Amino acid sequence: MRLSALFYRWPQVVCEALSTPWPSSACLLYRALRRLGVKGVEIRKPEQLETVASLIIPGGESTTMAKLAEYHNLFPALREFVKMGKPVWGTCAGLIFLANKATGQKIGGQELIGGLDCTVHRNFFGSQIRSFEAELAIPELAAKEGGPEVFRGVFIRAPAILDVGPEVKVLADYLVPSNEALDSNSAVEAQEENTGSEKKVIVAVRQRNLLATAFHPELTADTRWHSYFLKMATETGEEASGSIVAVGADLNLDQQPKIDLPIFQ
């Protein structure tokens, strides 16, 4: 199984984040884009990034993804892609890659792309069994894309953003219940200003051409996040339509069932 992205696919082995009963994230992501009249294309080599205008870095096991990206010498091209101001959206592990700083990493750490002025905590919410879904208030999404202000987010071994720089716009946060165990004390220490029984962390942000979400919008039938990202291409001076090509033939989207919440009961 390989992780998929809009205009980019990590050449990846099976990862724990996708070992689930529902269809692969690749199929769900491509379906969401297809509903908006867009088709994705695989990119596996650094030079291929020169031919596309927008990029989605998906979820998965971030440490393994980083090792594979390093093996294929993708980091220099990815950093240049970000520096050029092209739209990039990172979900879950993709958020970790875009962050300038990451805490809670495995021993030895992992390489990051950077560009997003924030500190992210890897696996903030704990292990796979602590995956959950929650309703998030996202006024900007409703203002730009219509629909309700609430979006149902799916968090799978999810990271969280602990702090952001002045140019980063917070799009959504999440109030962590007092009885919810966190992965590391550093996550708690970073929220010292929250003296009550609940702690607030950031789960969606935008900084110019960069969009990042700690949750997985492709696991719902709501495509507003995908539409929001595609419109960023125009806002940042790029045309997403210039990179629309056919989806890889190995993905049979029509045979995949429609997925929507609730996923976790």
Interior CA angle at 42 toward 40 and 44, to 5°? Answer: 155
Classify domain 3-255 at the CATH class level. alpha beta
Query: What is the residue-averaged pLDDT of the chain?
Result: 75
Candidate list 92, 121, 133, 238, residue with the active-site label: 92
pTM reported for the whole predicted model: 0.78
pLDDT of 199-208, one tens digit each?
A: 899 999 999 9
Distance, in Å, from the CA atom of 177 to the CA atom of 138, rounded to the nearest integer, reads 19
Over 60: is that where the pLDDT of 17 sits? Answer: no
Distance, in Å, from the CA atom of 92 to the CA atom of 172, rounded to the nearest integer, reads 14
- Across 143-172, average pLDDT: 95
- Across 67-76, average pLDDT: 84
Q: Is 218 designated active site?
A: yes
Over 60: is that where the pLDDT of 112 sits? Answer: yes
Candidate list 42, 61, 133, 218, residue with the active-site label: 218
Distance, in Å, from the CA atom of 229 to the CA atom of 55, rounded to the nearest integer, reads 10
Please give the pLDDT value at position 26.
Answer: 66
Please give the pLDDT value at position 18.
Answer: 24
Q: Is 50 designated active site?
A: no
Please give the pLDDT value at position 206.
Answer: 98
Better-predicted residue by pLDDT, 171 or 14: 171
**CA-derived radius of gyration, the chain:** 17
Length of the chain: 265
Candidate list 15, 133, 216, 238, residue with the active-site label: 216
Q: Is 118 designated active site?
A: no
CA distances from 224 to 8, 33, 221, 244, 265 (A): 20, 10, 9, 19, 24
* Number of other CB atoms surrounding residue 113 within 10 Å: 25
Which string of DSSP letters, residue by residue, matches 156-210?
SS--EEEEE-TTPEEEEEEEE-TT---S-HHHHHTTTT--SS-EEEEEEEEETTE
17: region left, alpha or beta (phi > 0 left; psi from -120 to 50 alpha)? alpha
- Across 160-185, average pLDDT: 83
Q: Which two tokens stand for residue 138?
A: 């996202």
Distance, in Å, from the CA atom of 193 to the CA atom of 137, rounded to the nearest integer, reads 21
Distance of CA 158 to the CA centre of its chain: 10
- Across 116-134, average pLDDT: 87
